[in-house]
Amino acid sequence: MQFRNLGRSGLRVSLVGLGCNNFGGRIDDEATRKVVNAAIEHGITLFDTADIYGEKAGSERVLGEVLGARRKDIVLASKFGMKMFHGGQGGSRRYIMSAVEESLTRLKTDWIDLYQFHTPDPLTPIDETLRALEDLVTQGKVRYTGCSNMPAWQVADAQWTARDLRLPGFASAQDEYSLLKRGAEKDLIPALKHYGMGLLPYFPLANGALTGKYKRNAPMPDGARLTKLPERAGQIFSDANWARIEALTDFCEARGRTPVELAFSWLAAQPVVSSVIAGATRPEQIAANVKAADWTLTADELAEIDRITV
């Protein structure tokens, strides 16, 4: 397993991270235990969850129970801000102070390594959010902070505000980024590079579209994620994206590789990426994800991929 710094911070994270959105809902507690065990055995240290994942914050609850004493051996990341089952949401001081206590209790820990603002709050000034997060860092309840789903201008505004107030600011941003979703390269990634932030891309396989199991003009596979998300499937499987998927598949076959290996290794080749967040429901998916990031793409291969996907 390779390790990288989270942006310009001193926090070291595994190149492949485990997305815990399947815990506490999509898979049961025993299946979660097997996935967590496999992740730790394969050297994954970054575990990414959120208070809204699972049924009634089930992901944090199950993860806290399964980790036990091993919690100290991992980098535990969670998020706040999206609307919870009890109605709470946002980035106000009042809400943040209660949200972190609830997450700490569910996770059975005294601290969260990376606490991420899950979505912008138009009703709360960013300086209020940043000051509250800094207080959590000072109290030792949070080590580093990050943001997610923020447009580039809001990231820049937050980092400028943090500098003006002499606060650390966000160490990372978690946003959608993949071979089929490269919009972040226009404004967001330049902003992250400027401010020394690491990118934690989610949906690295474009909801499974880059796994190779979907074929144009063929029935959707039973039980697959996009089969259950027709609206999302309609957005992803445009004629242009089908052409990209097929060209990328040919690219992989010519090199004896798989689309999954390409998806992970391409993201790993991006200097701004600190860790690739990927969910799993079975231990064998963990092994495949870790192996996938081992392919070192050449400059010529990266240029060819750009010609296919940009």
**147 three-state secondary structure:** strand
Does the pLDDT of residue 227 top 80, yes or no? no
Does the pLDDT of residue 291 top 80, yes or no? yes
Give the model's pLDDT for residue 176: 96
Give the model's pLDDT for residue 115: 98
Report the distance separating Cα 28 and Cα 18, nearest Å. 17
144 is catalytic: no
Report the distance separating Cα 67 and Cα 29, nearest Å. 12
Give the model's pLDDT for residue 229: 77
Query: Max alpha carbon distance in the chain (Å)?
Result: 56
Percent of the chain with pLDDT over 70: 100
Report the distance separating Cα 290 and Cα 15, nearest Å. 9
Which structural domain range is residue 55 located in? 3-208+259-297
Residue 161 domain flag: yes
- Which range is least confidently modeled, 101-110, 182-191, 233-242, 255-264? 233-242
- Which range is least confidently modeled, 24-28, 40-44, 260-264, 266-270? 24-28
- Indicate which CATH number applies to the domain containing 25: 3.20.20.100
Report the distance separating Cα 215 and Cα 267, nearest Å. 23
Instruction: Measure the CA dihedral 87/170/136/138, to 10°.
Output: -170
Report the distance separating Cα 85 and Cα 21, nearest Å. 15
pLDDT in tens, 53-84: 999 899 999 999 999 999 999 999 999 999 99
Residue 128 domain flag: yes
Closest CA to 272 of 173, 182, 203: 173
Does the pLDDT of residue 215 top 90, yes or no? no
Residue 272 domain flag: yes
Does the pLDDT of residue 226 top 80, yes or no? no
Closest CA to 49 of 129, 103, 119: 103
Residue 74 domain flag: yes
Does the pLDDT of residue 48 top 90, yes or no? yes
Q: How confident is the model at residue 172 (pLDDT cuts 50, 70, 90)?
A: very high
Among 53, 95, 177, 195, the one annotated catalytic: 53
* Torsion angles phi and psi, residue 297, rounded to 5: -80, 140
The average confidence (pLDDT) of the chain is 94
Residue 57 domain flag: yes
- Which range is least confidently modeled, 63-67, 73-77, 100-104, 218-222? 218-222
**Mean pLDDT in residue range 109-138:** 97
Q: Please calculate the CA angle 81-83-87 and round it to the nearest 5 degrees.
A: 120
| DSSP 8-class letter at 27 | B
For 119-130, letters b (16+ CB in 10 Å) and e give bbbeebebeebb
Does the pLDDT of residue 94 top 80, yes or no? yes
Does the pLDDT of residue 95 top 80, yes or no? yes
What spatial distance separates the first Cα and last Cα of the chain, rounded to whole Å? 29
Q: How confident is the model at residue 230 (pLDDT cuts 50, 70, 90)?
A: confident
Does the pLDDT of residue 236 top 90, yes or no? no
How many other C-beta atoms can be found within 10 angstroms of the C-beta atom of residue 246? 13
How many other C-beta atoms can be found within 10 angstroms of the C-beta atom of residue 28? 11
Written as six digits, the tokens of 175 are: 């946003």
Residue 150 domain flag: yes
**Mean pLDDT in residue range 105-129:** 97
Does the pLDDT of residue 175 top 90, yes or no? yes
**Mean pLDDT in residue range 25-51:** 95
**Number of domains, the chain:** 1
Does the pLDDT of residue 231 top 90, yes or no? no
Does the pLDDT of residue 221 top 80, yes or no? no
Percent of the chain with pLDDT over 90: 85
Report the distance separating Cα 155 and Cα 151, nearest Å. 6
| DSSP 8-class letter at 220 | P
Residue 307 domain flag: no
Residue 239 domain flag: no
**Mean pLDDT in residue range 107-129:** 97
Give the model's pLDDT for residue 207: 87
